[in-house]
Amino acid sequence: MRDFRPELVVHLAARVGVALCESDPADAIRSNVTATAHVARATHEYGARLAYASTVSVNAPTSLYALTKHWGEQVAELYAPEGLQVLRLAHPYGPGVEPGRGRGALPTLLWQAEQREPITVYRGDSRSWCWAGDVASAIRLVLEAGEAGAVDIGRGDEPVAMTELAQRACELTGAPQELIEEVDPPAGFVPAGADDGRLRELGWVPEVDLDAGMRRLLEWLRAESATTVS
């Protein structure tokens, strides 16, 4: 901060995922709350503006992960309130997330289907997914607009049931749909959705639909697997 003197700091670093945060609550708090406090204080000290990446799950927090991001928003507001932008991401997906690590439901579904492993999905869980490139373009529009406050970053169109996503994963990989098992979600589980109205006002138009995104993601997973094997 001292050397580069940025005008804007976009704070994306976090411990992401419900399972990962539950596996080590202390580290989740250090990563998502304490570290955010340090970033916000330094941002304010050197006269920069802060944009903090949060999650739409803070609207109805039902997990430790959602709570840590909610607390992160609060410490960002405490230490760097001037012009603060809060980017509440909603179900981004794309290359770069290793499947089966407690985060990244879509890559995990595709990888389980590819490996012919059991695919477990929550009954009644529906989400609108947003390709990583479209997420990036949305964030850029919000940052350039410079308007303070919280904004959802994600698609607000009709959500797709996770059972249907699992079926699509099986179709793409040629896996039998008998691998899919629906189970009841944990008590208090509430799927979070995005309102993309503000993004649309800024001219945002997502370019990658779910079918194309899943095909791209599967290609990346296969390429990564081939690289690991070789």
| Count of alpha carbons within 13 angstroms of residue 180, beta-carbon side | 20
**Predicted confidence pLDDT, tens digits, the chain (230 residues):** 889 999 999 999 999 888 888 889 999 999 999 999 999 999 999 999 999 999 999 988 888 999 999 999 999 999 999 999 999 999 999 998 877 655 688 999 999 999 999 999 998 899 999 999 999 999 999 999 999 999 999 999 989 999 999 999 999 999 999 999 999 987 667 778 899 999 999 999 999 999 999 999 999 999 988 776 55
Cα gap 31→13, rounded to integer Å: 8
Please name the residue that has the structure tokens 């690590």. 101
